[in-house]
A and B are shown apart, each in its own frame.
Chain A
Amino acid sequence: MTEEKTQNDSKSRVSFLSKAKREFSKDKVGLISLIVVVSLLLFIFIAAIFIPTKDFVNVNIMDQFLTPGTSGHILGTDDGGRDELAMLIVASRNSLFISISFTVLTTIIGLIIGLTAGYFGGGVDWGIMRLTEFLQLLPTMMLVMVVVTIVSEYNAVTLILIFTALSWMSGVRFVRSLTLTQSRLDYVKASKLSGASPLRTMLVEILPNLSSFILADLTLNLAGNIGMEVGLSYLGFGLPASTHSLGTLLQLATDPNNMTDRLWVWLPSAIVILLFTIAIVSIGQVLRRVADQRQSLA
């Protein structure tokens, strides 16, 4: 028993970064995914700064549906004669900005509520969990669609807030169960006995022990949230029509002519979505192994 304990202690002293390094070096797919995601993110966010607004706003019917490679349009043009490549970069930036901020926000809310429920337990826990369970039963997608329709004036920020308000519940259960297991451990009892305030125990003692799990969960959720953003804007309930997103580019595929004869208007955005989500999931799986060393490949 004591031997096992010291082993655990020495293991947890290994820093997160060195564990991550070890796991990534053992998983080639994860490593490639990390490189792909980081370089694509940098490229998209930097390139988007240099694209003049007129490139993706001004409509020029004369240049409609140019095939890739003609008159300087590397990926061709869409139904409005706009350059596909410029649109793709700006759309990816918008989609990723929304999904990332939405994921971070829901994680923070999940952390606050989950920590509270798991730490205090009893009546607080019961109340929070019944409410969360009830809200999870609601058809989120449909509610988002309705709320977006009711709120007539909205922009990216309001959209993120609507998403968050209707789907913060998913993280709560996860954080709560992690907190419950931690709360039973001696170090939490020691912290309580030494007179630390609940807030201090939660944030200084418990939270650092959950962080690697939460990072892994956040990464995996990001993939799902990219899907949600893409889906809603595909249906026309995402960003306002003037703002491009990967979903609005995909929307062009609803026209059978575009789908079969003008692959360049929708295929690039579909590929970008696939690339991002698959890469993010494989990064998330490596991070999960970092958090839970029992699954380690190293």
Chain B
Amino acid sequence: MWKLILKRVLLMIPQLLLMTLLIFAIAKLMPGDPFTGRFSPQLDLSELARLRKEAGLDDPWYVQYFRWIGNALHGHFGDSYVLQKPVVTLMGERLGNTIVLSLFTTVFLYLFGIPMAVASAKNEGKFIDRFWLTFNSITYGVPALVIFLFVLFLFGYTLQWFPTSGSVNIDAEGFVGIWLSKIYHVILPSVTIAALSTVGIFTYLRTGLLDNRNQDFVRTARAKGVPEKQIFWKHNFRNSMLPIAQNFGFQIVAIFSGSIFVEQIFNYPGMGLLYYSSISTRDYAVITALMLFYGFLSLVGAVLSDIILAWVDPRVRIS
């Protein structure tokens, strides 16, 4: 098991190298540099050239690339020239919010998706099954942002059950109060995203449950006289959950990087909104750091998925 994890993590190194090279190339293509924000009528152009040289912007690209990697490893991502703050501080402020939102979304997602698939598979071909199949094909096709707008319009503005922007109420006091307010702010967006993203879990689990019904291990259990309830949960369900477990890493990453729209529409100050606003203000240091963050996250998600698979499925460990 440890050997497998080590092997998988080592495989990440070439991927990481390729990804950082790509992001570095994009960053170099972006107009402007860390000193663009200091332009002013009083500025001496030769002074600017000296600053650029000192910062190493005249070095060959591979020197710059390795310096950039080295800085990133030490947590130095430069300063945001729009907000005049270190990028790390900015990201730190937003990361917490996005984690809270993603965490709630993930919990709701599995809370909705798994019972849906179980209900469907148990009633194959009946009304409940057709209902959830239709529901999932609609949520698969419809762009989430249109639904976000409807939800915001209905529950946010018209019924006024939930807040329409922000991540915490400024009046909230005390540890419990602040957290209750935070949770209150993420409920509407997280429930909406979760309800719209069940299609993957639903399809995999439903198909798995239906296929495994006729597998040898289920027939053997039935022949031995194992009660139906136990056959379903201990034999069929557990095996059908394997692809769901394996997909967990990708799912988390999808939720994290899918947050741009939700955060923009619900005006929720997380990483996605930071990315959106830094692109709008051409804040390149922030954009580069966020691309690196999301890129790294997706690599970790893929590794996590493989490790989970090896952990839950002994067959993978042996081969």
Using CB atoms and an 8 Å cutoff, list the residues of chain A in contact with chain B: 134, 137-139, 141-143, 145-147, 149-150, 220, 223-224, 226-228, 230-231, 234-237, 250, 253-254, 256, 259-260, 266, 270, 273-274, 277-278, 280-282, 284-285
Contact = CB atoms under 8 A, between A and B. Distances in A.
Contacts of B265: 254
Interface of B: 15, 18-19, 22, 26, 29-31, 137-138, 140-146, 149-150, 152-153, 157-158, 164, 257, 260-261, 264-265, 275-276, 279-280, 282, 287, 290-291, 294-295, 298-299, 302
A134 B18 contact: yes
Nearest to B140: A281
A207 to B, nearest CB: 27
Nearest to A234: B145
A254 B264 CA distance: 9
Given A138-B298, A139-B294, A281 B145 contact: no
A281 B133 CA distance: 12
Contacts of B153: 253, 259-260
Contact of B257 (A142, A250, A284): A142
Contacts, number: 110
Nearest to B288: A146
B142 A274 contact: yes
A253 B149 contact: yes
B146 A274 contact: yes
Nearest to B142: A277
Contacts of B261: 231, 234-235
A266 B146 CA distance: 10
12 contacts: A134-B15, A146-B291, A227-B141, A231-B145, A234-B145, A253-B153, A256-B164, A259-B149, A270-B149, A277-B141, A278-B142, A281-B138
- What is the interface of chain A mostly: helix, strand, loop, or mixed? helix
Contacts of A138: 19, 22, 295, 298
A236 B276 CA distance: 10
A147 B291 CA distance: 12
Closest 7 CB pairs of A and B: A227-B143, A281-B141, A223-B141, A277-B141, A137-B298, A139-B294, A139-B257
Contacts of A146: 26, 30, 279, 287, 291
Contacts of A226: 143
A281 B152 CA distance: 25
A142 B282 contact: no
A285 B26 contact: no
B146 A250 contact: yes
A285 B137 contact: yes
Contacts of B282: 149
Nearest to B14: A134
Nearest to A261: B157
A147 B26 contact: yes
B77 to A, nearest CB: 16
B267 to A, nearest CB: 9
B291 A142 contact: yes
A287 to B, nearest CB: 13
B275 A142 contact: yes
A274 B138 CA distance: 9
Contacts of B264: 235
A260 B152 CA distance: 10
Contact of A270 (B15, B31, B144, B150): B150
Could you say which of A137, A254, A266, A284 has the most chain B C-beta atoms within 10 Å of its C-beta?
A137
A260 B160 CA distance: 12
A261 to B, nearest CB: 10
Contact of B294 (A142, A235, A250): A142
Contacts of A259: 149, 152-153, 157
B141 A278 contact: yes
Which interface residue of A139, A228, A231 has the most chain B CB atoms within 10 A? A139
Contact of B26 (A150, A228, A260, A284): A150
A137 B26 contact: no
A235 B260 contact: yes
B13 to A, nearest CB: 13
Nearest to A222: B141
Contact of B295 (A139, A223, A227, A284): A139
